[in-house]
Amino acid sequence: MTRTIPAVLVLGVALASCAGARRSEDPVARDQEVTRDICWKYQADDRFARIQVSCRDGVVTLEGIVTTPSDREEAEGIARGVTSVRKVKSNLQVRSR
């Protein structure tokens, strides 16, 4: 007789391991991970489709266009919330459509 593990338990363990994922010790790889994570968060929201992200030594630079000042603030806040980000330089321009 086999036992099955509830899907909720499996999902919980998987998510817990992701939350504790460590950044690479290599600074270049870490910057690439930061850039990837921010872009991943932005891709879910069309308001951030025209933002380019780069990172060097934990300093994130945002370039591009958003349509409102609140969108700019939110994009900056999302970037600041990513692990290993030391500073965010925002060169985002606000332009209505």
DSSP 53-76: EEEETTEEEEEEEESSHHHHHHHH
Residue 14: inside a domain: no
pLDDT digits (tens, 9 = 90+) for 58-93: 999 999 999 999 999 999 999 999 999 999 999 999
Instruction: Look at the chain and report how many structural domains it folds into.
Output: 1
Residue 11: inside a domain: no
Q: What is the dihedral of CA 55, 89, 65, 36, to 10 degrees?
A: 20
Residue 17: inside a domain: no
Residue 15: inside a domain: no
Question: Which tokens belong to 29?
Answer: 């790889």
| CATH classification at residue 80 | 3.30.1340.30
Mean pLDDT (whole number) for 14-43: 77
pLDDT, greater one: 96 or 65? 65
Full domain range(s) for residue 51: 24-94
Residue 59: inside a domain: yes
